[in-house]
Structure 1
Amino acid sequence: MLTIVSRMDVMNRLGRAMADPTRSRILLTLLQQPTYPAELARDLELTRSNVSNHLACLRDCGIVVAVPEGRQTRYEIA
């Protein structure tokens, strides 16, 4: 069971993740279908590095999961 402090930490991380407009755009795209970072970068007109950083944040918060597929990694909503 999570303590109050742990719950607050989870809520703060989730809030920070959702507050960023770019992460919101990534999440809306992933809600439609799982996809790859390169496709997200192309479709959202972002750099791959920028997308990777945002995906890492969303992954750390438990919002998205990375699914290895050979040499690529597909991202989807957790």
Structure 2
Amino acid sequence: MLTIASRLDVMNRLGRAMADPTRSKILMSLLDGPSHPAVLSRELGLTRSNVSNHLTCLRDCGIVVAEPEGRQTRY
């Protein structure tokens, strides 16, 4: 069972993740279906490293799931 402090930590991380406009755009794109960071970066006009960093944040917060596909990762 989570303590109040750990619940607050989870809520704070989730709030921070959802508050960023770029992460919101990434999530909106992923609503259409799974995608790879390179595809998302082209669609959103962002660098691949920027998209990867945002996806890492979203994954660490439990908002998206990463599925390895060979040398690539699908979210």
* Structure 1 position 14, deviation (Å): 0.2
* Structure 1 position 32, deviation (Å): 1.1
Q: TM-score, normalised by structure 2?
A: 0.97
Stretches of structure 1 that go unaligned for 5 or more consecutive residues are: none
* Residue 34 (str. 1) matches residue 41 (str. 2): no
Stretches of structure 2 that go unaligned for 5 or more consecutive residues are: none
CA distance in 1, matches of 2:70, 2:53: 21
* Structure 1 position 61, deviation (Å): 0.3
- What is the aligned-residue RMSD (CA, Å)? 0.5
Structure 1 stretches of 4+ moved >3 Å: none
Aligned length: 75
CA deviation digits over 1:12-48, x for unaligned, max 9?
0000000000000000111110000000000000000
Q: TM-score, normalised by structure 1?
A: 0.94
Q: Which has the higher strand share?
A: 1
Identity, % of aligned positions: 80
